[in-house]
Amino acid sequence: MSLFRKFFSSGQTNSDEDKKINKTSFDQNVPVDEQFIFNFKRNGGKFLYCDSLNEVKEQFENILEENDWFESEALCFEPTLFPMLKENNIFFDKPQNPKFLLATCENLVSDEGSISFSSNQIKQKKPNELPVNMVIIAHTSQIISGKSEILSAIKNKYKKEYPSNITTIKYFEKAQEEDFTQYGSAAKNLYLILLEDL
C-alpha cells in the first residue's frame, strides 16, 4: 500500500499494515516521512502533497479559494514567495490586517509532527505574533527525525551566518480540553504544501 494512500484513504482500514499506521507511537522501522505525516495530521495540520511546482501553485490557489483570501493581505518575508502572492492579487507590503502567513520553514520534525522556523521565515516575531492562518511550503528533504537535529541541520544549511529566532510550532488546532502541554502555545490553522524533492 502506498504511503499517501495510507493517510488519505477515506474508507475503513482493516489490514494489519493500516493498523500499524494508526498507532500513536511508532517503532524505529517506520520511515521518518510516514511518522511526520501521521503526527502532523494528529496535531491538526492540513497536509497537501505535490510532486511539481505547478501543483504547488495549484494547491496554493485552492487554499485561497477555500478560505476566500483572494485580494486580501498576507504576511510574507521571503522574496522568493512574492510572485505567488502577486499572481493572486494578495497585498503583502506592510500589511495592516494579514489574513495569513506565507512562508517556507527550516525543518519538519518527525517525532512530534512540528515545524521549525527561523528569522529567515518569520524575522523576530514570536508564534503568537503571527497570523492564526499559515500556509507553509516545504520539501520532503527537510524532514528530520527529532528536535535534537534542528540545530545541526541549520548549521549544515547555512555554514556561516546562522539565523536567529529558531522556534517550532506544534499545535494546529485548539485543544478540545485544557491541556497543560499547550500552555503558552498559540494554535495555528496551518496548511503544509509538501513538495517531493528526493
Angle at 110 between CA 135 and CA 153, to 5 degrees: 85
Q: How many CB atoms lie within 10 A of CB 84?
A: 20
Query: Do the Cβ atoms of 104 and 128 come closer than 8 Å?
Result: no
DSSP 8-state code for residue 113: T
d(CA 78, CA 143): 21
Instruction: Please give the Cα distance from 25 to 11 (Å, whole number).
Output: 22
Cα separation, 73 vs 85, whole angstroms: 9
Quick check: helix, strand or coil at residue 187? Answer: coil
Q: Per residue of the chain (198 residues), what is the pLDDT tens digit? A: 344 444 444 333 444 444 444 444 555 678 999 999 999 999 999 999 999 999 999 999 999 999 999 999 999 999 999 999 999 999 999 999 999 999 999 999 999 999 999 999 999 999 999 999 999 999 999 999 999 999 999 999 998 889 999 999 998 876 444 444 444 456 899 999 999 997
Nearest alpha-carbon partner for 183 in 128, 107, 122, 111: 128
Q: Rounded to an integer, what distance in angstroms lies between the CA atom of residue 86 and that of residue 72?
A: 11
pTM: 0.82
For residue 5, what are the CA distances in angstroms to 19, 66, 123, 188?
Answer: 13, 23, 37, 26
Residues 6+ apart with CB under 8 A from 72: 90, 91, 98, 99
- Residue 193 half-sphere exposure toward CB, CA atoms < 13 A: 22
